[in-house]
């Protein structure tokens, strides 16, 4: 978990961008050769308002340009940038107020889409477009308050390999919701914190998104201290501390064992059980995955009392 940033959100309108988009430089976009990102828009079967792609587009931050909307199989309508690349939203970000929590190594895999020159696709509501100021001073495009990103492993227009990664990354629909999501959710949300019975590990703790939570054996519980820092945090994300109201929605876990740990590295407030800092693993691609179990002989799922589940 990272510190909240004082992000500002401003509406981007089509009128504010002018009638013509200028070509983006390689320095500004971090992609390809100078002038490789075009402002023209092309059409293709099954898609609307998708732009042309430049050869060898990379994975650095880039301006959105004229947005497009592509119909993508089971995902339905998906928002793209001017190159036809899928744009994503991150569940760990906030929409009101807008706030991006993806930086450092995360931003290399998920390059922020810059707001400069952004224009709504035909059929999109221009008032949903806005921007948020990132920690480095750059202005990231938002859709209905949610910061937008590209995915480094989408090596060509039309791909959406990032959809569903970690159970937190999803292609954005034109209204800012998750692409492919039903209009009404038929499944009752999980409690803020709960346990589930795993076929191999028995009863283990999960968060409200269904993600398995882990302990690091190099941490300490008395006093509470985290030994996961630097590159460790690229794979192991500190679990967010629950608000008091959310704690009441915790299930099977004694609220007296749940406490907050203020990380000394500026990473914000971390959830603990019985003094042990808790994390989720980026290698768990779907809710219920336990791919982090036993990693390095130091990472393990946990019981509701904070004990290791081995």
Highest mean pLDDT: which range of 50-54, 156-160, 301-305: 301-305
Distances (CA, A) of 237 to 108, 119, 225, 228, 268: 16, 34, 15, 9, 12
User: For residue 197, how many C-alpha atoms fall within 13 Å in the half-sphere facing its CB?
Assistant: 1
Mean of the per-residue pLDDT values for the chain? 79
Average pLDDT of 203-227?
95
**pLDDT tens digits, one per residue of 231-284:** 999 999 999 887 766 666 677 888 889 999 999 998 889 999 999 999 999 999
Give a three-class secondary structure readout of 46-81. Answer: CEEEEECCCCCCCCCCEECCECEEEECHHHCEEEEC
Average pLDDT of 74-100?
93
**pLDDT tens digits, one per residue of 178-187:** 998 764 444 5
Average pLDDT of 86-94?
94
- Angle of CA points 28, 32, 33, to nearest 5°: 85
Q: Is the pLDDT of residue 152 over 60?
A: yes
> Residue ranges per domain, the chain?
9-171, 193-309
Highest mean pLDDT: which range of 20-29, 149-158, 175-184: 149-158
């Amino acid at each position: 978990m990272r510190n909240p940033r004082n992000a500002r959100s401003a509406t981007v309108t089509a009128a504010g961008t002018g009638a013509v988009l200028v070509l983006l430089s390689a320095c500004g976009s971090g992609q390809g050769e100078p002038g490789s990102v075009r402002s023209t828009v092309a059409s293709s079967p099954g898609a609307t308002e998708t732009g042309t792609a430049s050869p060898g587009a990379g994975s650095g931050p880039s301006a959105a340009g004229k947005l497009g909307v592509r119909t993508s199989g089971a995902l339905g309508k998906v928002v793209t940038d001017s190159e036809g690349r899928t744009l994503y939203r991150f569940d760990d970000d906030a929409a009101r107020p807008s706030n991006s929590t993806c930086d450092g190594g995360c931003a290399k895999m998920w390059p922020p889409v810059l707001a400069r020159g952004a224009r709504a696709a035909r059929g999109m509501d221009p008032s949903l477009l806005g921007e948020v100021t990132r920690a480095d001073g750059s202005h990231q495009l938002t859709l209905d308050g949610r910061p937008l990103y590209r995915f480094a492993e989408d090596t060509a227009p039309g791909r959406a390999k990032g959809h569903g990664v970690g159970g937190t990354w999803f292609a954005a629909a034109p209204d800012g919701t998750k692409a492919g999501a039903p209009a009404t959710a038929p499944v009752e949300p999980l409690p803020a914190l709960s346990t589930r019975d795993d076929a191999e590990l028995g009863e283990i703790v999960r968060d409200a998104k269904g993600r398995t939570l882990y302990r690091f054996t190099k941490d300490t519980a008395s006093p509470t201290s985290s030994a996961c820092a630097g590159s460790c945090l690229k794979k192991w994300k500190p679990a967010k501390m629950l608000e008091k109201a959310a704690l009441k929605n915790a299930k099977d876990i004694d609220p007296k064992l749940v406490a907050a740990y203020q990380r000394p590295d500026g990473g914000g407030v971390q959830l603990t059980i019985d003094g042990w800092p808790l994390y989720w693993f980026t290698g768990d691609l779907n809710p219920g995955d336990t791919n982090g179990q036993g990693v390095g002989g130091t990472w393990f799922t946990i019981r509701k009392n904070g004990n290791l589940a081995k």
